[in-house]
Amino acid sequence: MPYDPSAFPPFAVTVDLVVLTVRRHALCALVVRRGESPYQGRWALPGGFVRGDEDLEAAAARELTEETGLLTHTPEGHDAGAHLEQLATYGDPQRDPRMRVVSVAHLVLAPDLPSPTAGGDVRSARWAPVDTLSCPGDGLAWEGEQQVPLAFDHDRILLDGVERARSKIEYSSLATAFCPPEFTVGELRRVYEAVWGVVLDPRNFHRKVTGTPGFLVPTGGTTTRQGGRPAQLFRAGGATLLNPPMLRPEV
């Protein structure tokens, strides 16, 4: 039972971020171009080392702000900002050729922002539709006309993050994290359609989502930014768990 704190192997601990948003009816992830070896010039998930006195979630929030300018709200805080939660930890001994690196991946859900990569170089960071970044199973990313895999094991991390987001909007109100503070039922429906890659019946969706207690709170305002008849504006209600859940259509 070698629980001796002075005789431990040397590890580096990083955080990697799966930052998702919905742009032009497509689920997109933030990727940055690597400037250094290994995987120089390849696209990768944003991330970096955890500092010696820093909590894991704080490190993730710091990296997010550094790379996107986005602020986060923890599960309790209800300020404007992105949703941040821990995703999973990846620690294959060979995942970084330089040394043993354990990466604690985090998932960020953000609304579509005017300046998505504020503070960053346009050519070194971009939103990429997730279905162009990885075809399930082969882990390749489109680069011009040819597919290049993401750096490290980031294709796997991205896939896990996307699947987490897809399943979590079923039974939680997290889909509102993809929306601006005030949004319409139609905008929320387009979030579900983009994340799940399906088409939903607008009428049943409307009835379902407005009938789920605590999900949506009307603000009183209306908007015609989508064209057509003016739509009522809502903001996210207090409920975090949806009961009954939104059901993802089969097959």
Q: Name which of 78 and 207 has its Cβ closer to DNA.
A: 207
Q: Look at the block and give the residue holding tokens 């497509």.
A: 26
Going by C-alpha positions, the residue among 142, 159, 161, 141 that lies closest to residue 151 is 141
| Minimum separation from the CB atom of position 213 to a second copy (A) | 13
At residue 26, φ and ψ (nearest 5 deg) are -135, 145
- Quick one: what does residue 185 bind among a second copy, DNA, none, with the CB cut-off 5 to 8 Å set by partner type? DNA
String marking each residue 200-239 x if it binds DNA according to CB under 7 A: -xxxx-xxx-x-----------x-x-xxxxxxx-------
Binding part of the chain for DNA, among 71-79, 134-142, 145-153, 181-189 by CB under 7 A, reads 181-189
- Does position 114 interact with DNA (CB under 7 A)? The reply is no
Which residue type, as a one-letter code, is found at position 61? A
Q: Name which of 38 and 218 has its Cβ closer to a second copy.
A: 38
- Does position 240 interact with a second copy (CB under 8 A)? The reply is no
Going by C-alpha positions, the residue among 86, 20, 18 that lies closest to residue 57 is 86
At residue 241, φ and ψ (nearest 5 deg) are -100, 130
Q: Taking the mean position of all CA atoms in its chain, how far away is CA 251? A: 23
> Concatenated DSSP letters for 95-115?
SSSSS-EEEEEEEEE-PPPSS
- Quick one: what does residue 80 bind among DNA, a second copy, none, with the CB cut-off 5 to 8 Å set by partner type? none
Q: Name which of 91 and 211 has its Cβ closer to DNA.
A: 211
- Does position 75 interact with a second copy (CB under 8 A)? The reply is no
Among 24, 52, 138, 229, binds a second copy (CB under 8 A): 52
Q: Look at the block and give the residue holding tokens 């139609």.
A: 186
- Does position 49 interact with a second copy (CB under 8 A)? The reply is yes
- Distance, in Å, from the CA atom of 157 to the CA atom of 3, rounded to the nearest integer, reads 30
What 8-state DSSP symbol labels residue 60? H
Q: Which two tokens stand for residue 143?
A: 């680069």
Three-state DSSP class for residue 171: helix
| Minimum separation from the CB atom of position 21 to DNA (A) | 19
Binding interface with a second copy (CB under 8 A):
1-3, 5, 8-13, 35-36, 48-56, 66, 86, 88-93, 96, 98-102, 104, 243, 250
Binding interface with DNA (CB under 7 A):
184-187, 201-204, 206-208, 210, 222, 224, 226-232, 244-245, 247, 249
